[in-house]
């Protein structure tokens, strides 16, 4: 049973790999949230890479300095997203 005033949230799951894909899903109203569990196992820094790709945090400033430095070095070496 669902309460009469309950708000249902739509969650998109399955094969959501790219940040722009996740952004399009939410922006288009297809879902309120995207679940990226498997991609987080492949790339634990997926959210940091997504923020960079989408222009939210190009310099990894939202991360602790040690992580930001490491990701920036990987990026410069051509190994990061």
pLDDT digits (tens, 9 = 90+) for 23-68: 999 999 999 999 999 999 999 999 999 999 999 998 888 989 998 9
Q: Three-state DSSP class for 29?
A: coil
pTM of the model: 0.74
| Burial class of residue 57 in the structure, from the number of CB atoms within 10 Å of its CB (0-12 exposed, 13-18 middle, 19+ buried) | middle
């Amino acid at each position: 049973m669902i309460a009469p005033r309950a708000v249902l949230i739509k969650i998109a799951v399955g094969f959501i790999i790219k940040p722009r894909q996740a952004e399009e899903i939410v922006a288009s109203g297809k879902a309120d949230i995207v679940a990226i569990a498997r991609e987080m196992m492949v790339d634990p820094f997926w959210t940091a890479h997504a923020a960079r790709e989408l222009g939210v945090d190009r310099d990894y400033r939202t991360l602790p300095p040690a992580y930001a430095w490491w990701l920036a070095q990987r990026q410069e070496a051509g190994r990061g997203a």
